[in-house]
Amino acid sequence: MSRARPILGPGFNRLFAKGWLGAGYLFLYVPICALVVYSFNASPLPSVWGGASLRWYHELAHDRELLAGLWLSLKIAFYTAWGSVVLGTLAAFTLVKYRRFLGRTLFSGMVNAPLVMPEVIVGLSLLLMMVSAQRWLGFPERGLVTIWLGHLLIGLSYATVVVQARLQDLNPELEEAATDLGARPHQVFLLVTLPMIVPSLLSAWLLAFTLSLDDVVLSAFLSGPGATTLPLVIFSRARLGMRPDINAAATIIIAIVSAGVVAGSVLIARNERRRAAEMAAAQRA
């Protein structure tokens, strides 16, 4: 018997727990459901139900500005995801494997700070640096590259947290065994460590991708003329009021992201099961 005794007495406590969880999930999901339902509303007013319609989806397909923003956002998110995974893995490896080096506290502080740093601060400071760099060196031009650099800073931090958690759970004996058998450090990493952290790399990739696809503030500071990302388009319209075409765009984005996340987690779960089976087989042998 390892379950704790309930706090408020058995029956009431369980009901209370379920009620609290249910209300919490309702709070988290009502706005998402509302967006999806509104997107099929023929009436442009969210308070009036004008019957089901695909009208807003049709309008979306001809919305040049929105489609251009979507394409730019997807490109930036793609580059951000790759950059974040590479840098994040290096940073996570540094934090987990190298316990002592000069300025370790500063390093871990700089990795963690972007997780909480208000985005207006990060955006302003990066922009002012880019402007100074442009003055001295003549580059970079504000646009895709500068937005990417900003997103990479946030993506790097999140990727590090995800990969770090995984690296810490690894059994160090496996890497030690490989070293004892004569593998060079890079071989240990590529042949032993990397295959074991692949699921976390996939999560980190997806997380960095969605963070980048969603970012408003950094993009607003770092974008240049002609480089308007999808969230910037949506934000400038949302400021003016409710726009039914945004609901349609939202529904499509939610569908794509949910599909990606579900596919990703199925892949991760399958990978884990296979690895567990292989481990068990190896131990029996």
Partner 1 sequence: MSRPLVASLFERLRSFPVHRHGRAAVIGIPYAWLLVFFLLPFLIILKISVSEMETVRFKDLLELKDGLVTLTINVGHYVSIFQDDLYVRTYVASLKYAAVTTAWCLFIGYPFAYFMARAKAAHQPALLMLVMLPFWTSFLLRVYAWKGLLMEGGWVARILVALGVDHLLVKADLVPALGKFMNTPFSLVIGMVYTYLPFMVLPLYATLVKMDLRLLEAAADLGATPWVGFWKITVPLSKAGIIAGSMLVFIPCIGEFVIPELLGGPRTLMIGRVLWDEFFSNNDWPMASSVAAVVILLIIVPLTIFNRYQAEATEARR
Contacts to partner 1 from residues 188-227, by CB under 8 A: 206-207, 210, 213-214, 216-217, 221
Cβ distance to partner 1 smaller for residue 131 or 279: 131
Measuring CA to CA, how many Å separate 75 from each of 68, 80, 131? 11, 9, 23
| The two three-digit tokens of residue 133, written as one number | 């760099």
- Interface with partner 1: number of residues (CB under 8 A): 95
CB of 123 closer than 8 Å to CB of 217: yes
Q: Smallest distance from the beta carbon of 243 to partner 1, in angstroms? A: 9
- DSSP letter, residue 182: T
Subset of 216-275 contacting partner 1 (CB under 8 A): 216-217, 221, 231, 234-235, 238-239, 241-242, 246-247, 250, 253-254, 257-258, 261, 265
Q: Smallest distance from the beta carbon of 279 to partner 1, in angstroms? A: 20
Helices (H), ranges, the chain: 10-39, 55-61, 64-97, 104-116, 119-137, 144-169, 172-180, 185-187, 194-214, 217-222, 230-238, 244-284
Per-residue string for binding with partner 1, 49-78, x by CB under 8 A?
Answer: ------------------------------
Q: Which stretch binds partner 1 (CB under 8 A): 54-62, 148-156, 190-198, 270-278?
A: 148-156
3 binds partner 1 (CB under 8 A): yes
Exactly one of 42, 43, 63, 94 binds partner 1 (CB under 8 A); that residue is 94
Rounded Cα distance between 208 and 203, Å, is 9
Cβ distance to partner 1 smaller for residue 109 or 195: 109
Cβ distance to partner 1 smaller for residue 198 or 216: 216
Rounded Cα distance between 189 and 203, Å, is 19
